[in-house]
């Protein structure tokens, strides 16, 4: 019975991502509606974060040679 209860309590990764998307969209909508941030500022920030993530990803794929 414990196994059945545990299975019911599991949440799929897809469901977690969907929930995260909904929460993030709601927060963005509130910030824009209250004029805390403009859509342009949001887009610029997203582009900056994407660029930083790509740079980190590219750096993590580099092979570092060990010269002795």
In a domain, 7, yes or no: no
In a domain, 49, yes or no: yes
Q: Token pair 């920030």 is at which residue?
A: 45
Flag whether the pTM goes above 0.85: no
Its sign, for the CA torsion 30, 34, 37, 43, is: positive
pLDDT per residue over 26-41, tens digit each? 999 999 999 999 999 9
Q: What is the Cα–Cα distance from 48 to 43, expressed in whole angstroms? A: 9
pLDDT given at position 33? 95
Average pLDDT for the chain: 86
In a domain, 68, yes or no: no
pLDDT given at position 50? 94
Q: Structural domain tally of the chain?
A: 1
Phi, psi angle pair for 21, to nearest 5°: -65, -45
């Amino acid at each position: 019975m414990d196994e059945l209860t545990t299975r019911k309590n599991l949440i799929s990764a897809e469901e977690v991502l969907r929930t995260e998307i909904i929460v993030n969209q709601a927060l963005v909508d509130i910030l824009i509606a209250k004029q805390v941030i403009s859509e342009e500022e949001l887009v610029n920030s997203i582009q900056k974060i994407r660029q930083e993530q790509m740079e980190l990803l590219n750096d993590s794929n580099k092979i570092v040679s060990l010269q002795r």
